[in-house]
Copies of this chain bind each other. A is one copy, B any other.
Amino acid sequence: MLSLPRLRLLHEVHRGGSLAAAARTLNFTPSAVSQQLKLLERETGTALLEPVGRGVRLTPAAQRLVAHTERILAQLEVAEAELAAAQPVVRGEITVAAFQSAVLTVAPVALDALARDHPELRVNLIQREVEGAYQGLLAHEFDLIISEEYPGREEPRRDGVDSVELLRDPLYLGLPLTGPWSERPASLADLADAPWTLDPELTSTGAWSRAVCRQAGFEPWVRVDTFNPLLQADLARTGHALAFLPALLGPRHLAGIRRVGLPGSPFRRLSTQVRSGRTRHPAVVACRAAFAEAVAHMSVEEPEWTLAPGTT
């Protein structure tokens, strides 16, 4: 009978792409990983890894084995979820990963609600941007993640992950109330020469915001490159740089900023995601409910006015 922990290890090597990566996420030494996999090779009587360059690659047999492992792990999670559901109260521990603006806004509210409704449930919150959160979810590092998708950058739905929409969060342009860029622009193109603060281009936020500017006919001058939404809000408030800001930030963080609706009323789509096996786990259900409740009670800021579609 195959050893399940070793199968998990192989699974993780497959995900991470190298023994070293797997060792890192599982807090092992690379040597330990190597040896465990050697044992697995002996157990199965099959070569599972083959050297390629200075790394390794999974053999076809190993890849099929990983596919089976995924099914087995999912099945185990379903079993665990069912056991937990049979309990009278929601208890245990759950680890949630969310990106910055979610950690700033909905997460505290949701966590309060969870602490109130399920005192026996320990919720750990970890800030992680979408891609990292997703990888961590697959690696069983997190149990639930909050992810976001920007218009035109929708993630493909992947097998084994259950995704539920949490919120459609309008995206606004943020201008200072006073100073050079506080005047009402006719279209986005009027802001072609303004200084901007945007997320790094590699992130989906950054890519989207640059695309918006390019659509309007200009390449933004990125004065401050940061993915801290509070910093962006502050720069917009003080007039140092214009920003795209999500409505979710709420009245507190958006105070003193002129909110301008964008053409086409774009929004980012927030969703909660779990591994399919845990969908019915009571802790997951409770978390999702808490987050849904939190966004429902969030007071969303309306824009002061909305830009007409500019010339492209």
Contact = CB atoms under 8 A, between A and B. Distances in A.
Interface of A: 1-2, 4-5, 8, 44-46, 60-61, 64-65, 68-69, 71-72, 75-76, 78-80, 82-84, 86-87, 91-92
Contact of A69 (B44, B65, B79, B91): B79
Contacts of A75: 68, 71-72, 75
A24 to B, nearest CB: 19
Contacts of A69: 79
Given A75-B71, A75-B75, A83 B1 contact: no
What is the total number of copies of this protein in its complex?
A: 2
Contact of A83 (B61, B72, B86): B61
Nearest to A65: B79
B44 A65 contact: no
Nearest to A69: B79
A79 B83 contact: no
A151 to B, nearest CB: 39
Nearest to A71: B75
A79 B45 contact: no
Given A4-B4, A72-B72, A46 B79 contact: no
B2 A46 contact: no
Contacts of A2: 76, 79-80
A64 B91 contact: no
Contact of A86 (B61, B71, B76, B86): B61
A87 B82 CA distance: 37
Contacts of A79: 2, 64-65, 68-69, 72
> Which 5 A-B pairs rank lowest in CB-CB distance, beginning with the nearest?
A68-B79, A61-B86, A44-B83, A4-B4, A72-B75
15 contacts: A2-B79, A2-B80, A44-B83, A45-B84, A45-B87, A45-B91, A45-B92, A46-B83, A46-B86, A46-B87, A61-B83, A64-B79, A68-B78, A72-B72, A72-B79
B1 A76 contact: yes
A65 to B, nearest CB: 6
Contacts of A65: 79, 82-83
Nearest to A86: B61
A5 B5 CA distance: 12
Contacts of A76: 1-2, 68, 72
- Chain B CB count within 10 A is highest, among A4, A69, A91, for A4
- Chain B CB count within 10 A is highest, among A60, A68, A80, for A68
A68 B71 CA distance: 12
A295 to B, nearest CB: 31
A8 B2 CA distance: 13
A139 to B, nearest CB: 13
A76 B71 CA distance: 9
